């Protein structure tokens, strides 16, 4: 029991000192959405900081803080994808999938979200944005 605790404590210390020693490092990614208005995405070391940053970005387009809703947080951030979806009756929205180990895996997640056999009510569905594990947006193509 003591050895498990010591191992866990050592592992946590190594992870935290490695991140701070490097002085960098998005370790998580937060997604905020104001439906039909705006969105925000930020990387940070914890959910509170990530969501606060993403909410601020969401508000830059004129949305109110109360409209910028927490949608997703992944730790570690991994590869992430934003999927635009539109219902055949008109409403549209974005869904986010994050924490993937590779870009290809994130894009496969988008394909699953857009599978017509699983979402027959959609008239449009496509990956519109992709982020690498450091939080940099990359080309969808």
pLDDT band at 27 (very low <50, low <70, confident <90, very high): confident
Q: What would the pLDDT profile of 72-97 be if each residue is shown by its tens digit?
A: 999 999 999 999 999 999 999 999 99
127: containing domain: 28-138
Report yes or no on 111 lying in a domain.
Answer: yes
Q: What would the pLDDT profile of 33-56 be if each residue is shown by its tens digit?
A: 999 899 999 999 999 999 999 999
First to last CA, the chain: 50
Rg (CA), the chain: 18
Listed in sequence order, the residues at least 6 apart from 101 whose beta carbon sits closer than 8 Å to its beta carbon are 78, 79
Q: Output the pLDDT for position 2.
A: 44
pTM, two decimals, is 0.78
Report yes or no on 110 lying in a domain.
Answer: yes
pLDDT beyond 50 at 17: no
Alpha helices in the chain (DSSP H): 2-22, 47-59, 103-113
Tokens of 100: 């993937």
């Amino acid at each position: 029991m003591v050895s498990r605790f010591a191992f866990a404590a050592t592992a946590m210390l190594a992870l935290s000192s490695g991140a701070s020693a490097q002085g960098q490092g998005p370790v998580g990614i937060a997604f905020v959405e104001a439906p039909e208005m705006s969105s925000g995405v930020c990387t940070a070391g914890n959910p509170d900081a990530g969501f606060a940053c993403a909410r601020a970005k969401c508000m830059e387009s004129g949305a109110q803080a109360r409209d910028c809703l927490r949608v997703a947080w992944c730790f570690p951030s991994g590869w992430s994808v934003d999927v635009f979806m539109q219902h055949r009756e008109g409403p549209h929205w974005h869904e986010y999938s994050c924490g993937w180990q590779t870009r290809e895996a994130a894009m496969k997640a988008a394909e699953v979200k857009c599978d017509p056999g699983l979402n027959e009510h959609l008239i449009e569905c496509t990956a519109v944005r992709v982020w690498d594990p450091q939080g940099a947006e990359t080309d969808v193509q």
